[in-house]
Amino acid sequence: MSETPTKPQQWAKEVQVALQMALKLLEEDKHQPLLDEHKNELFKYAPVLAAYNRGIRDESKVKTMAKFAFKRRLDDDRFESDTVTDSEINFYIAYLDAHVVIDELKESDTDSIMEYLISTAH
Cβ-proximal residues to 59 (8 Å cutoff; 6+ apart), any chain: none
Q: Are 53 and 105 in contact (CB under 8 A)?
A: no
Residue 83: predicted pLDDT: 47
Residue 70: predicted pLDDT: 84
Residue ranges per structural domain of the chain: 8-120
Cβ-proximal residues to 120 (8 Å cutoff; 6+ apart), any chain: 12
Q: Write down the pTM of the prediction.
A: 0.87
Q: pLDDT in tens for each of the 122 residues of the chain?
A: 789 999 999 999 999 999 999 999 999 998 888 888 888 889 999 999 999 999 999 999 999 999 998 887 666 655 555 545 788 888 999 999 999 999 999 999 998 999 999 888 75
Residue 37: predicted pLDDT: 84
Which contacts of 36-45 are long-range, i.e. CB under 8 A and separated by 24 or more positions? 36/87, 39/85, 39/87, 40/86, 40/87, 40/90, 41/87, 42/87, 42/88, 42/90, 42/91, 43/69, 43/70, 43/73, 43/87, 43/90, 43/91, 43/93, 43/94, 44/70, 44/94, 45/18, 45/21, 45/91
Residue 121: predicted pLDDT: 75
d(CA 61, CA 112): 26
